[in-house]
């Protein structure tokens, strides 16, 4: 019997559309056996290495997403305090190096303070904590991830755990939470 670990990324919208990103770990022959089935739920199915490599790749995804939300929140807070039209930043930065799907899809919800959960702040904290545990085993320093986890820990402690992950921006509000 073979083993393939195949975590996904893209959230409920990508799942509903069959467009999840799937990162697989396993022996090449085993990965090929499941490739067709996995194609039903995702457009991208990438073999990342031996068993476990899929989950390690998912951890990389969580580092990027978790720290990305924290950076977007900080950028929004700066823009608002500076008095610029924060809502127009995705338009102003489109096509440049700061442009990204996170800026285009999540940042406008941050601006509107739309915290209806598509994913939960508590889940991001859980994911970042798991990443840090593995990083300690690997002796891989993750200072940015550590800082993002601290911010998420604060947000969850202040009641944002059941709100969307983008609710981390509430830490920067003049009257947070």
The DSSP secondary-structure symbol of 97 reads T
Q: Mean of the pLDDT values across residues 4-9?
A: 96
Give the pLDDT band of residue 13 (cuts 50, 70, 90).
confident
Give the pLDDT band of residue 14 (cuts 50, 70, 90).
confident
> Hunting for tokens 């083993």 — which residue is that?
3
Give the pLDDT band of residue 11 (cuts 50, 70, 90).
confident
* pLDDT of 46 strictly over 90: yes
CA atoms within 13 A on the CB side of 159: 3
Q: Domain spanning 4-51: which CATH class is it, in words?
A: alpha beta
Task: Give dist(CA 56, CA 23) in Å, integer.
Answer: 9
Taking only the tens place, the pLDDT of each residue in 55-111 is: 999 999 999 999 999 999 999 999 999 999 999 999 999 999 999 999 999 999 999
Residue 58 appears among annotated catalytic residues: yes
| Mean pLDDT (the chain, rounded) | 95
The DSSP secondary-structure symbol of 137 reads H
pLDDT of residue 159: 96
Closest by CA position to 46, among listed 80, 7, 90: 7
Domain span(s) for CATH 1.10.1040.10 in the chain? 56-172
State which CATH number among 1.10.287.1040, 1.20.1260.10, 1.10.1060.10, 1.10.1040.10 fits the domain covering 56-172.
Answer: 1.10.1040.10
Domain span(s) for CATH 3.40.50.720 in the chain? 4-51
127-138: burial string, b at 16+ Cβ within 10 Å, e else? bbeebbeebeee
pLDDT of residue 175: 65
* CB-based contacts of 52, cutoff 8 Å, min separation 6: 5, 25
Taking only the tens place, the pLDDT of each residue in 108-164 is: 999 999 999 988 999 999 999 999 999 999 999 999 999 999 999 999 999 999 999
**Is 4 in contact with 54 (CB distance < 8 Å)?**
yes
* pLDDT of 176 strictly over 60: no
pLDDT of residue 18: 87
Q: What pairs with residue 98 in β-bridges?
A: none
């Amino acid at each position: 019997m073979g083993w393939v670990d195949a975590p996904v990324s893209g959230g409920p919208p990508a799942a509903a559309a069959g467009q999840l990103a799937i990162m697989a770990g396993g022996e090449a022959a085993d990965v090929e056996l499941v490739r067709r089935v996995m194609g039903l739920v995702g457009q991208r199915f990438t073999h990342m290495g031996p068993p476990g490599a899929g989950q390690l790749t998912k951890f990389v995804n969580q580092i990027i997403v978790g720290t990305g939300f924290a950076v977007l929140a900080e950028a929004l807070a700066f823009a608002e305090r500076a008095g610029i039209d924060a809502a127009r930043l995705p338009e102003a930065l489109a096509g440049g190096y700061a442009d990204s799907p996170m800026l285009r899809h999540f940042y406008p919800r941050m601006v509107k303070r739309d915290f209806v959960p598509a994913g939960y702040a508590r889940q991001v904290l859980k994911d970042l904590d798991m990443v840090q545990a593995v990083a300690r085993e690997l002796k891989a320093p993750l200072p940015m991830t550590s800082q993002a986890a601290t911010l998420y820990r604060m947000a969850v402690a202040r009641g944002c755990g059941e709100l969307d992950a983008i609710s981390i921006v509430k830490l920067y509000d003049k009257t947070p939470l």
